[in-house]
Structure 1
Amino acid sequence: MSLDSEQVEQFVRDGYLKLEGAFPADVGERCVRELWEATSCSRADPTTWTQPVIRLGGFSTPPFREAATTPALHDVFDTLVGPGRWQRLGGLGTFPVRFPSETDPGDTGWHVEASYAGPDGESRLNHRSRGRALLLLFLFSEVGPDDAPTRIRIGSHLDVPSLLEPAGDEGREWLSLCQDAVAASEHRPVTLGTGTVGDVYVCHPFLVHAGQPHRGRTPRFMAQPPLVPTGALDPYAADPSPVERAIALASQDTDRR
Protein backbone atom coordinates (compact mmCIF):
# COMPACT_ATOMS: atom_id res chain seq x y z
CA MET A 1 0.00 0.00 0.00
CA SER A 2 2.31 2.70 -1.24
CA LEU A 3 1.29 6.25 -0.45
CA ASP A 4 1.33 8.85 -3.20
CA SER A 5 2.55 12.40 -2.66
CA GLU A 6 -1.00 13.70 -2.20
CA GLN A 7 -1.66 11.25 0.63
CA VAL A 8 1.62 12.16 2.31
CA GLU A 9 0.75 15.84 2.16
CA GLN A 10 -2.72 15.07 3.53
CA PHE A 11 -1.10 13.35 6.50
CA VAL A 12 1.18 16.34 7.14
CA ARG A 13 -1.75 18.76 6.84
CA ASP A 14 -4.58 16.83 8.55
CA GLY A 15 -2.64 14.59 10.93
CA TYR A 16 -4.13 11.27 9.87
CA LEU A 17 -4.80 8.88 6.99
CA LYS A 18 -7.41 6.15 6.67
CA LEU A 19 -5.99 2.97 5.15
CA GLU A 20 -8.78 0.77 3.83
CA GLY A 21 -8.16 -2.98 3.92
CA ALA A 22 -4.79 -2.65 5.63
CA PHE A 23 -5.19 -6.18 7.00
CA PRO A 24 -7.43 -9.07 5.82
CA ALA A 25 -10.99 -9.23 7.19
CA ASP A 26 -10.70 -12.97 7.86
CA VAL A 27 -7.68 -12.31 10.05
CA GLY A 28 -9.72 -9.69 11.86
CA GLU A 29 -12.49 -12.20 12.51
CA ARG A 30 -10.00 -14.63 14.08
CA CYS A 31 -8.85 -11.80 16.35
CA VAL A 32 -12.42 -10.89 17.30
CA ARG A 33 -13.16 -14.43 18.42
CA GLU A 34 -10.29 -14.16 20.91
CA LEU A 35 -11.42 -10.72 22.00
CA TRP A 36 -14.97 -11.89 22.69
CA GLU A 37 -13.60 -14.69 24.87
CA ALA A 38 -11.46 -12.21 26.79
CA THR A 39 -14.47 -9.97 27.54
CA SER A 40 -16.31 -12.89 29.22
CA CYS A 41 -19.41 -11.65 27.40
CA SER A 42 -21.55 -13.61 24.97
CA ARG A 43 -21.52 -12.50 21.35
CA ALA A 44 -25.06 -13.87 20.95
CA ASP A 45 -26.56 -12.55 24.21
CA PRO A 46 -26.75 -8.74 24.61
CA THR A 47 -27.92 -9.15 28.21
CA THR A 48 -24.31 -9.99 29.05
CA TRP A 49 -23.14 -6.60 27.73
CA THR A 50 -23.47 -4.91 31.10
CA GLN A 51 -20.61 -2.39 30.90
CA PRO A 52 -20.26 0.52 28.48
CA VAL A 53 -16.58 -0.26 27.91
CA ILE A 54 -14.22 -3.12 28.71
CA ARG A 55 -10.50 -2.46 28.31
CA LEU A 56 -8.36 -5.37 27.21
CA GLY A 57 -4.59 -5.43 27.21
CA GLY A 58 -2.19 -6.52 24.51
CA PHE A 59 -2.62 -9.65 22.38
CA SER A 60 0.31 -11.32 20.61
CA THR A 61 -1.21 -14.54 19.30
CA PRO A 62 -0.70 -15.34 15.58
CA PRO A 63 -3.79 -13.55 14.18
CA PHE A 64 -2.93 -10.32 15.98
CA ARG A 65 0.68 -10.45 14.80
CA GLU A 66 -0.57 -11.11 11.29
CA ALA A 67 -2.93 -8.11 11.40
CA ALA A 68 -0.21 -5.84 12.74
CA THR A 69 2.56 -6.75 10.29
CA THR A 70 1.12 -6.67 6.79
CA PRO A 71 3.39 -5.46 3.98
CA ALA A 72 0.89 -2.67 3.31
CA LEU A 73 1.30 -1.29 6.82
CA HIS A 74 5.07 -1.63 6.73
CA ASP A 75 5.21 0.36 3.49
CA VAL A 76 3.19 3.15 5.11
CA PHE A 77 5.36 3.15 8.23
CA ASP A 78 8.48 3.42 6.07
CA THR A 79 6.98 6.35 4.18
CA LEU A 80 5.72 8.32 7.18
CA VAL A 81 8.39 7.52 9.79
CA GLY A 82 11.34 6.32 7.74
CA PRO A 83 12.90 2.91 6.93
CA GLY A 84 14.61 1.43 9.98
CA ARG A 85 13.20 4.13 12.25
CA TRP A 86 10.30 2.19 13.78
CA GLN A 87 9.96 -1.01 15.78
CA ARG A 88 7.99 -3.91 14.35
CA LEU A 89 4.72 -4.53 16.18
CA GLY A 90 4.72 -7.81 18.09
CA GLY A 91 0.97 -7.78 18.57
CA LEU A 92 -1.83 -5.32 19.25
CA GLY A 93 -3.31 -3.49 22.25
CA THR A 94 -4.90 -1.87 24.05
CA PHE A 95 -8.51 -2.61 23.12
CA PRO A 96 -11.27 -0.33 24.48
CA VAL A 97 -14.26 -2.55 23.59
CA ARG A 98 -17.34 -0.31 23.55
CA PHE A 99 -20.81 -1.73 24.04
CA PRO A 100 -24.19 -0.13 23.27
CA SER A 101 -25.16 1.58 26.52
CA GLU A 102 -26.96 4.56 28.01
CA THR A 103 -24.36 4.66 30.79
CA ASP A 104 -21.63 7.29 30.54
CA PRO A 105 -18.36 5.39 29.95
CA GLY A 106 -16.42 8.19 31.68
CA ASP A 107 -13.50 8.16 29.23
CA THR A 108 -14.59 10.28 26.28
CA GLY A 109 -12.68 13.52 26.84
CA TRP A 110 -10.51 15.12 24.16
CA HIS A 111 -6.82 14.34 24.62
CA VAL A 112 -3.41 13.64 23.11
CA GLU A 113 -1.76 10.30 23.86
CA ALA A 114 1.06 10.22 26.39
CA SER A 115 4.15 8.37 25.23
CA TYR A 116 6.55 7.80 28.13
CA ALA A 117 6.79 7.78 31.92
CA GLY A 118 8.55 10.50 33.89
CA PRO A 119 10.87 9.98 36.88
CA ASP A 120 7.94 9.54 39.24
CA GLY A 121 5.98 7.31 36.90
CA GLU A 122 3.80 10.13 35.60
CA SER A 123 2.67 10.14 31.98
CA ARG A 124 4.52 12.64 29.78
CA LEU A 125 5.22 13.67 26.19
CA ASN A 126 7.76 15.96 24.57
CA HIS A 127 8.26 17.86 21.33
CA ARG A 128 10.23 14.98 19.80
CA SER A 129 7.38 12.58 20.63
CA ARG A 130 9.66 10.34 22.65
CA GLY A 131 8.35 6.76 22.60
CA ARG A 132 5.68 7.22 19.92
CA ALA A 133 6.15 7.67 16.18
CA LEU A 134 2.47 7.14 15.29
CA LEU A 135 -0.89 6.49 16.91
CA LEU A 136 -2.62 3.57 15.17
CA LEU A 137 -6.34 2.76 15.25
CA PHE A 138 -7.09 -0.79 14.02
CA LEU A 139 -10.78 -1.49 13.33
CA PHE A 140 -11.98 -5.01 14.11
CA SER A 141 -15.69 -4.39 13.64
CA GLU A 142 -18.04 -2.35 11.49
CA VAL A 143 -17.91 1.20 12.85
CA GLY A 144 -20.65 3.56 11.71
CA PRO A 145 -21.53 7.01 13.06
CA ASP A 146 -23.51 5.50 15.98
CA ASP A 147 -20.94 2.83 16.88
CA ALA A 148 -18.64 4.98 19.05
CA PRO A 149 -16.20 6.00 16.30
CA THR A 150 -13.16 7.91 17.50
CA ARG A 151 -13.60 11.67 17.11
CA ILE A 152 -10.66 13.39 15.41
CA ARG A 153 -9.89 17.10 15.32
CA ILE A 154 -8.52 17.56 11.81
CA GLY A 155 -5.18 19.36 11.83
CA SER A 156 -5.00 19.51 15.63
CA HIS A 157 -1.51 17.97 15.64
CA LEU A 158 -0.28 21.36 14.42
CA ASP A 159 -1.52 23.03 17.61
CA VAL A 160 0.58 20.91 19.96
CA PRO A 161 4.30 21.49 19.16
CA SER A 162 4.27 25.10 20.40
CA LEU A 163 2.92 23.83 23.72
CA LEU A 164 5.78 21.34 24.08
CA GLU A 165 8.85 23.08 22.65
CA PRO A 166 9.46 25.42 25.64
CA ALA A 167 9.75 22.33 27.88
CA GLY A 168 12.54 20.82 25.76
CA ASP A 169 13.35 17.12 25.87
CA GLU A 170 12.06 16.86 29.45
CA GLY A 171 8.57 17.42 28.09
CA ARG A 172 5.37 18.08 29.97
CA GLU A 173 3.08 16.17 32.26
CA TRP A 174 0.27 14.63 30.24
CA LEU A 175 -2.83 16.06 31.92
CA SER A 176 -1.76 19.70 31.87
CA LEU A 177 -0.59 19.38 28.27
CA CYS A 178 -3.94 17.87 27.29
CA GLN A 179 -5.82 20.74 28.87
CA ASP A 180 -3.82 23.24 26.83
CA ALA A 181 -4.00 21.17 23.63
CA VAL A 182 -7.77 20.81 23.86
CA ALA A 183 -8.19 24.55 24.28
CA ALA A 184 -5.75 25.33 21.45
CA SER A 185 -7.53 23.03 19.00
CA GLU A 186 -11.15 23.99 19.71
CA HIS A 187 -11.39 25.70 16.32
CA ARG A 188 -10.57 22.55 14.38
CA PRO A 189 -13.24 20.66 12.38
CA VAL A 190 -14.12 17.17 13.59
CA THR A 191 -14.31 13.93 11.64
CA LEU A 192 -15.24 10.42 12.77
CA GLY A 193 -13.10 7.29 12.58
CA THR A 194 -15.68 5.13 10.81
CA GLY A 195 -14.87 2.09 8.71
CA THR A 196 -14.93 -1.66 8.53
CA VAL A 197 -12.88 -4.66 9.63
CA GLY A 198 -9.35 -4.34 8.26
CA ASP A 199 -9.24 -0.54 8.11
CA VAL A 200 -6.49 1.28 10.00
CA TYR A 201 -6.22 4.96 10.86
CA VAL A 202 -2.61 6.10 10.89
CA CYS A 203 -2.39 9.22 13.07
CA HIS A 204 0.26 11.75 13.98
CA PRO A 205 1.30 11.26 17.63
CA PHE A 206 0.13 14.80 18.52
CA LEU A 207 -3.38 14.43 17.07
CA VAL A 208 -6.16 15.55 19.46
CA HIS A 209 -8.91 12.92 19.55
CA ALA A 210 -11.63 11.49 21.78
CA GLY A 211 -13.84 8.49 22.33
CA GLN A 212 -17.59 8.69 22.61
CA PRO A 213 -20.54 6.65 23.94
CA HIS A 214 -21.89 3.79 21.82
CA ARG A 215 -25.41 4.47 20.52
CA GLY A 216 -25.54 1.67 17.96
CA ARG A 217 -26.37 -2.02 18.25
CA THR A 218 -23.14 -3.99 17.77
CA PRO A 219 -20.09 -3.74 20.05
CA ARG A 220 -17.10 -1.89 18.64
CA PHE A 221 -13.69 -3.58 18.65
CA MET A 222 -10.65 -1.41 18.03
CA ALA A 223 -6.96 -1.56 18.94
CA GLN A 224 -4.98 1.63 19.56
CA PRO A 225 -1.28 0.70 19.78
CA PRO A 226 1.62 3.08 19.37
CA LEU A 227 4.20 2.63 16.69
CA VAL A 228 7.40 2.94 18.70
CA PRO A 229 10.36 4.73 17.10
CA THR A 230 13.90 3.36 17.21
CA GLY A 231 15.21 6.77 18.31
CA ALA A 232 14.14 10.34 18.95
CA LEU A 233 12.33 12.24 16.22
CA ASP A 234 14.17 15.26 14.84
CA PRO A 235 11.83 17.87 13.33
CA TYR A 236 14.86 19.93 12.25
CA ALA A 237 16.66 17.17 10.37
CA ALA A 238 18.00 17.92 6.90
CA ASP A 239 15.61 15.36 5.42
CA PRO A 240 12.71 15.06 7.88
CA SER A 241 10.11 12.32 7.66
CA PRO A 242 6.46 13.41 7.18
CA VAL A 243 5.86 12.95 10.92
CA GLU A 244 8.81 15.22 11.70
CA ARG A 245 7.92 17.65 8.94
CA ALA A 246 4.48 18.26 10.45
CA ILE A 247 6.11 19.23 13.76
CA ALA A 248 8.53 21.57 12.00
CA LEU A 249 5.69 23.09 9.97
CA ALA A 250 3.76 23.85 13.14
CA SER A 251 6.84 25.46 14.68
CA GLN A 252 7.38 27.65 11.62
CA ASP A 253 3.76 28.78 11.67
CA THR A 254 4.15 29.75 15.33
CA ASP A 255 7.32 31.74 14.57
CA ARG A 256 5.52 33.74 11.88
CA ARG A 257 2.71 34.81 14.18
Structure 2
Amino acid sequence: MTHPELGARVLDDAQIAHFVERGFVRLDGAFPPVLAEQARAILWRDLGCDPDDPASWTKPVIRLGMYTDAPFVAAANTPRLRGAFDRLVGVGRWLPCRAMGTFPVRFPSPEDPGDTGWHVDVSFGFDDPDFMNWRVNLASKGRALLMLFLFSDIGEGDAPTRIRVGSHQDIARQLAPAGEAGLSLRELAADGFAGSTGRKEVLATGQAGTVYLCHPFLVHSAQPHRGKTPRFMAQPPLLPREPLSLDRPDGTCSPVEAAIRQAL
Protein backbone atom coordinates (compact mmCIF):
# COMPACT_ATOMS: atom_id res chain seq x y z
CA MET A 1 0.00 0.00 0.00
CA THR A 2 1.27 3.48 -0.87
CA HIS A 3 0.60 6.62 1.11
CA PRO A 4 0.82 9.81 -1.00
CA GLU A 5 0.02 11.98 2.02
CA LEU A 6 3.00 10.44 3.83
CA GLY A 7 5.18 11.18 0.83
CA ALA A 8 4.23 14.82 1.05
CA ARG A 9 5.34 14.86 4.69
CA VAL A 10 8.60 12.98 4.06
CA LEU A 11 9.87 15.33 1.34
CA ASP A 12 8.75 18.94 1.14
CA ASP A 13 8.68 21.09 -1.99
CA ALA A 14 12.15 22.50 -1.30
CA GLN A 15 13.62 18.99 -1.11
CA ILE A 16 11.88 18.03 -4.36
CA ALA A 17 13.31 21.11 -6.06
CA HIS A 18 16.75 20.16 -4.69
CA PHE A 19 16.38 16.68 -6.20
CA VAL A 20 15.34 18.03 -9.62
CA GLU A 21 18.14 20.62 -9.75
CA ARG A 22 20.97 18.79 -7.98
CA GLY A 23 20.10 15.15 -8.59
CA PHE A 24 19.79 13.81 -5.05
CA VAL A 25 18.16 14.28 -1.67
CA ARG A 26 19.51 13.10 1.68
CA LEU A 27 17.01 11.34 3.93
CA ASP A 28 18.21 11.15 7.54
CA GLY A 29 16.70 8.43 9.72
CA ALA A 30 15.38 6.59 6.68
CA PHE A 31 15.65 3.29 8.56
CA PRO A 32 16.36 2.48 12.22
CA PRO A 33 20.02 2.15 13.30
CA VAL A 34 19.16 -1.18 14.97
CA LEU A 35 18.50 -2.63 11.50
CA ALA A 36 21.91 -1.38 10.38
CA GLU A 37 23.50 -3.08 13.38
CA GLN A 38 21.71 -6.37 12.62
CA ALA A 39 22.75 -6.14 8.97
CA ARG A 40 26.39 -5.47 9.85
CA ALA A 41 26.44 -8.60 12.02
CA ILE A 42 25.39 -10.66 9.01
CA LEU A 43 27.97 -8.96 6.79
CA TRP A 44 30.81 -9.49 9.29
CA ARG A 45 29.85 -13.16 9.42
CA ASP A 46 30.40 -13.40 5.65
CA LEU A 47 33.51 -11.22 5.42
CA GLY A 48 35.81 -13.79 7.01
CA CYS A 49 37.64 -11.24 9.13
CA ASP A 50 37.41 -10.04 12.71
CA PRO A 51 35.61 -6.74 13.45
CA ASP A 52 37.86 -6.29 16.51
CA ASP A 53 41.16 -7.07 14.79
CA PRO A 54 42.30 -4.56 12.15
CA ALA A 55 45.17 -6.89 11.27
CA SER A 56 42.59 -9.19 9.68
CA TRP A 57 41.43 -6.41 7.32
CA THR A 58 43.88 -7.28 4.57
CA LYS A 59 42.03 -5.93 1.50
CA PRO A 60 40.89 -2.40 0.67
CA VAL A 61 37.48 -3.63 -0.47
CA ILE A 62 35.54 -6.89 -0.24
CA ARG A 63 32.39 -7.31 -2.32
CA LEU A 64 29.54 -9.32 -0.89
CA GLY A 65 26.54 -10.56 -2.85
CA MET A 66 22.82 -9.89 -2.83
CA TYR A 67 21.18 -9.88 0.61
CA THR A 68 17.54 -10.76 1.19
CA ASP A 69 17.73 -11.32 4.96
CA ALA A 70 15.01 -9.68 7.04
CA PRO A 71 17.03 -6.67 8.33
CA PHE A 72 17.99 -5.66 4.78
CA VAL A 73 14.48 -5.94 3.37
CA ALA A 74 13.03 -4.12 6.37
CA ALA A 75 15.57 -1.30 5.96
CA ALA A 76 14.51 -0.80 2.35
CA ASN A 77 10.77 -0.74 3.05
CA THR A 78 10.19 1.65 5.93
CA PRO A 79 7.13 3.93 5.68
CA ARG A 80 9.50 6.90 5.45
CA LEU A 81 11.27 5.49 2.41
CA ARG A 82 8.08 4.30 0.72
CA GLY A 83 6.63 7.77 1.12
CA ALA A 84 9.76 9.25 -0.44
CA PHE A 85 9.55 6.80 -3.36
CA ASP A 86 5.96 7.90 -3.97
CA ARG A 87 7.06 11.54 -4.08
CA LEU A 88 10.08 11.06 -6.34
CA VAL A 89 8.91 8.32 -8.71
CA GLY A 90 5.11 8.45 -8.43
CA VAL A 91 2.47 6.47 -6.56
CA GLY A 92 2.18 3.00 -8.07
CA ARG A 93 5.15 3.50 -10.40
CA TRP A 94 7.83 1.59 -8.43
CA LEU A 95 8.38 -1.93 -7.12
CA PRO A 96 9.13 -2.70 -3.46
CA CYS A 97 12.76 -3.61 -2.77
CA ARG A 98 13.20 -7.33 -2.07
CA ALA A 99 17.00 -7.31 -1.89
CA MET A 100 19.65 -4.86 -0.80
CA GLY A 101 21.98 -5.46 -3.73
CA THR A 102 25.73 -5.93 -3.44
CA PHE A 103 27.89 -4.54 -0.63
CA PRO A 104 31.34 -3.15 -1.46
CA VAL A 105 32.67 -3.15 2.12
CA ARG A 106 35.62 -0.74 2.31
CA PHE A 107 38.46 -1.08 4.80
CA PRO A 108 41.12 1.44 5.86
CA SER A 109 44.05 0.77 3.57
CA PRO A 110 46.90 2.55 1.77
CA GLU A 111 46.24 0.32 -1.26
CA ASP A 112 44.37 1.54 -4.32
CA PRO A 113 41.03 -0.34 -4.37
CA GLY A 114 40.99 -0.12 -8.16
CA ASP A 115 37.36 0.89 -8.50
CA THR A 116 37.28 4.62 -7.91
CA GLY A 117 36.43 5.93 -11.38
CA TRP A 118 33.54 8.29 -12.07
CA HIS A 119 30.49 6.52 -13.52
CA VAL A 120 26.73 6.20 -13.71
CA ASP A 121 24.95 2.99 -12.78
CA VAL A 122 23.75 1.38 -16.00
CA SER A 123 20.40 -0.42 -15.90
CA PHE A 124 19.89 -2.93 -18.74
CA GLY A 125 21.74 -5.23 -21.13
CA PHE A 126 23.02 -7.38 -18.27
CA ASP A 127 23.01 -10.52 -20.44
CA ASP A 128 26.29 -9.31 -22.00
CA PRO A 129 29.26 -10.82 -20.10
CA ASP A 130 31.25 -7.58 -20.55
CA PHE A 131 29.87 -5.10 -18.00
CA MET A 132 31.28 -2.20 -20.04
CA ASN A 133 28.60 -3.08 -22.64
CA TRP A 134 25.75 -2.71 -20.15
CA ARG A 135 23.52 0.20 -21.02
CA VAL A 136 21.36 3.12 -19.94
CA ASN A 137 18.89 5.14 -21.98
CA LEU A 138 16.98 8.41 -21.63
CA ALA A 139 13.95 6.58 -20.21
CA SER A 140 16.23 4.98 -17.57
CA LYS A 141 15.01 1.53 -18.53
CA GLY A 142 15.23 -0.78 -15.52
CA ARG A 143 16.01 1.83 -12.84
CA ALA A 144 13.82 4.46 -11.18
CA LEU A 145 16.34 5.64 -8.57
CA LEU A 146 19.95 5.14 -7.54
CA MET A 147 20.05 4.74 -3.76
CA LEU A 148 22.92 4.90 -1.27
CA PHE A 149 22.06 3.08 1.97
CA LEU A 150 24.45 3.86 4.83
CA PHE A 151 24.73 0.83 7.14
CA SER A 152 27.51 2.37 9.23
CA ASP A 153 28.34 5.90 10.34
CA ILE A 154 30.29 7.45 7.47
CA GLY A 155 32.41 10.57 7.91
CA GLU A 156 34.57 12.39 5.38
CA GLY A 157 37.51 10.03 5.99
CA ASP A 158 35.49 6.84 5.73
CA ALA A 159 35.37 6.52 1.93
CA PRO A 160 32.02 8.25 1.38
CA THR A 161 30.69 8.13 -2.16
CA ARG A 162 31.59 11.24 -4.16
CA ILE A 163 28.70 12.91 -6.00
CA ARG A 164 28.89 15.44 -8.82
CA VAL A 165 26.02 17.80 -8.06
CA GLY A 166 23.69 18.31 -11.02
CA SER A 167 25.55 15.83 -13.23
CA HIS A 168 22.30 13.99 -14.01
CA GLN A 169 21.52 16.88 -16.36
CA ASP A 170 24.74 16.35 -18.32
CA ILE A 171 24.02 12.63 -18.72
CA ALA A 172 20.42 13.27 -19.83
CA ARG A 173 21.65 15.55 -22.60
CA GLN A 174 24.29 13.00 -23.59
CA LEU A 175 21.69 10.20 -23.78
CA ALA A 176 19.05 12.15 -25.69
CA PRO A 177 20.40 11.57 -29.23
CA ALA A 178 20.85 7.82 -28.57
CA GLY A 179 17.14 7.03 -28.37
CA GLU A 180 15.77 3.82 -26.91
CA ALA A 181 19.03 1.90 -27.47
CA GLY A 182 20.85 4.31 -25.19
CA LEU A 183 24.59 4.20 -24.60
CA SER A 184 26.87 1.59 -23.09
CA LEU A 185 29.03 2.28 -20.07
CA ARG A 186 32.02 2.13 -22.41
CA GLU A 187 30.52 4.85 -24.62
CA LEU A 188 29.56 7.02 -21.67
CA ALA A 189 33.00 6.65 -20.11
CA ALA A 190 34.94 7.30 -23.32
CA ASP A 191 35.77 10.86 -22.26
CA GLY A 192 36.05 10.07 -18.55
CA PHE A 193 32.71 11.79 -17.87
CA ALA A 194 34.33 15.09 -18.80
CA GLY A 195 30.91 16.68 -19.32
CA SER A 196 30.45 16.93 -15.57
CA THR A 197 34.04 17.74 -14.60
CA GLY A 198 33.28 21.26 -13.47
CA ARG A 199 30.41 20.27 -11.22
CA LYS A 200 30.54 20.86 -7.47
CA GLU A 201 31.38 17.70 -5.53
CA VAL A 202 29.70 16.54 -2.31
CA LEU A 203 30.32 13.52 -0.11
CA ALA A 204 27.60 11.05 0.93
CA THR A 205 28.29 11.18 4.66
CA GLY A 206 25.87 10.51 7.49
CA GLN A 207 24.89 8.26 10.34
CA ALA A 208 23.82 4.66 9.89
CA GLY A 209 20.21 4.73 8.71
CA THR A 210 20.78 7.61 6.28
CA VAL A 211 19.79 7.08 2.64
CA TYR A 212 20.70 9.23 -0.35
CA LEU A 213 17.97 9.02 -2.97
CA CYS A 214 19.60 9.90 -6.29
CA HIS A 215 18.53 10.46 -9.87
CA PRO A 216 19.52 7.37 -11.88
CA PHE A 217 21.77 9.50 -14.13
CA LEU A 218 23.82 11.00 -11.29
CA VAL A 219 27.61 10.73 -11.82
CA HIS A 220 29.34 9.38 -8.72
CA SER A 221 32.51 7.64 -7.61
CA ALA A 222 33.95 5.48 -4.86
CA GLN A 223 37.17 6.53 -3.14
CA PRO A 224 39.92 4.94 -1.03
CA HIS A 225 39.28 4.54 2.70
CA ARG A 226 41.63 6.70 4.78
CA GLY A 227 39.71 6.47 8.07
CA LYS A 228 39.74 3.92 10.86
CA THR A 229 36.42 2.07 10.76
CA PRO A 230 35.20 -0.21 7.93
CA ARG A 231 32.49 1.34 5.79
CA PHE A 232 29.24 -0.49 5.09
CA MET A 233 27.12 0.94 2.29
CA ALA A 234 24.83 -0.57 -0.37
CA GLN A 235 23.60 0.78 -3.70
CA PRO A 236 20.39 -1.07 -4.59
CA PRO A 237 18.29 0.25 -7.45
CA LEU A 238 14.66 1.18 -7.03
CA LEU A 239 13.02 -0.76 -9.85
CA PRO A 240 10.23 0.83 -11.91
CA ARG A 241 6.79 -0.78 -12.10
CA GLU A 242 6.27 0.99 -15.43
CA PRO A 243 8.64 2.80 -17.79
CA LEU A 244 9.45 6.45 -17.16
CA SER A 245 7.62 8.79 -19.52
CA LEU A 246 8.77 12.21 -20.66
CA ASP A 247 5.47 12.88 -22.45
CA ARG A 248 3.12 13.14 -19.48
CA PRO A 249 1.09 16.33 -19.13
CA ASP A 250 2.65 18.99 -16.91
CA GLY A 251 1.78 18.26 -13.35
CA THR A 252 1.78 14.48 -13.68
CA CYS A 253 5.50 14.02 -14.31
CA SER A 254 7.44 12.62 -11.37
CA PRO A 255 10.47 14.60 -10.14
CA VAL A 256 12.69 11.95 -11.80
CA GLU A 257 10.99 12.62 -15.14
CA ALA A 258 10.82 16.39 -14.57
CA ALA A 259 14.58 16.50 -14.03
CA ILE A 260 15.16 14.86 -17.41
CA ARG A 261 12.70 17.16 -19.14
CA GLN A 262 14.32 20.20 -17.57
CA ALA A 263 17.79 19.05 -18.63
CA LEU A 264 16.64 18.82 -22.25
Fold conserved between structures, TM > 0.5: yes
Tell me the CA shift for residue 182 of structure 1: 1.3
Q: Is residue 2:254 matched to residue 1:246?
A: no
Q: Find the residue that maps to 2:104 and give its secondary structure.
A: strand
Q: Is residue 2:189 matched to residue 1:178?
A: yes
Q: Deviations over 1:214-257 (max 9, x none)?
A: 00000000010000101211123112100000000000xxxxxx
Q: Is residue 2:57 matched to residue 1:49?
A: yes
Q: Find the residue that maps to 1:97 and give its secondary structure.
A: strand
Aligned ranges for residues 45-194 of structure 1 at < 5 Å?
A: 45-117=53-125, 120=128, 122-180=133-191, 182-194=193-205
Q: Find the residue that maps to 1:55 and give its secondary structure.
A: strand
Q: Deviations over 1:160-213 (max 9, x none)?
A: 111111111111111211334711001100000000110000000000000000
CA spacing shift, 1:68–1:19, aligned 2, 3 Å: same
Q: Find the residue that maps to 2:10 and give its secondary structure.
A: coil
Counterpart residue number, 2:4: none
Tell me the CA shift for residue 27 of structure 1: 1.0
- Two-structure CA RMSD over aligned residues (Å): 1.2
Does the 8 Å CA contact 1:236/1:248 hold for their aligned counterparts? no
Does the 8 Å CA contact 1:160/1:181 hold for their aligned counterparts? no
Does the 8 Å CA contact 1:163/1:181 hold for their aligned counterparts? no
Q: Which amino acid aligns with 2:52?
A: A
Relative to the length of structure 2, the TM-score reads: 0.92
Residue of structure 1 aligned with 2:224, choices 204, 213, 216:
213
Q: Find the residue that maps to 1:230 and give its secondary structure.
A: coil
Q: Find the residue that maps to 1:43 and give its secondary structure.
A: coil
Residue of structure 2 aligned with 1:37, choices 45, 48, 52:
45
User: How many residue pairs align between the two structures?
Assistant: 251
The unaligned stretches of length 5 or more in structure 1 are 252-257
Q: Find the residue that maps to 1:218 and give its secondary structure.
A: coil
CA spacing shift, 1:221–1:96, aligned 2, 3 Å: same
Identity of aligned residues (%): 53
Q: Find the residue that maps to 1:18 and give its secondary structure.
A: strand
Q: Find the residue that maps to 1:116 and give its secondary structure.
A: coil
Counterpart residue number, 1:254: none
- Distance (Å, rounded) in 1 between the aligned partners of 2:128 and 2:121: 18
- Distance (Å, rounded) in 1 between the aligned partners of 2:115 and 2:185: 15
- Distance (Å, rounded) in 2 between the aligned partners of 1:186 and 1:50: 33
Residue of structure 2 aligned with 1:9, choices 17, 29, 35:
17
Counterpart residue number, 2:207: 196
- Distance (Å, rounded) in 2 between the aligned partners of 1:200 and 1:119: 29
Counterpart residue number, 2:3: none
Q: Deviations over 1:135-168 (max 9, x none)?
A: 0000011111110000000000010111111111
Relative to the length of structure 1, the TM-score reads: 0.95
Does the 8 Å CA contact 1:181/1:208 hold for their aligned counterparts? no
Tell me the CA shift for residue 118 of structure 1: 6.3
Off by >4 Å, runs of 4+ in structure 1: 118-121
Q: Deviations over 1:89-129 (max 9, x none)?
A: 01202111000000000000011111011674530000000
Q: Find the residue that maps to 1:160 and give its secondary structure.
A: helix
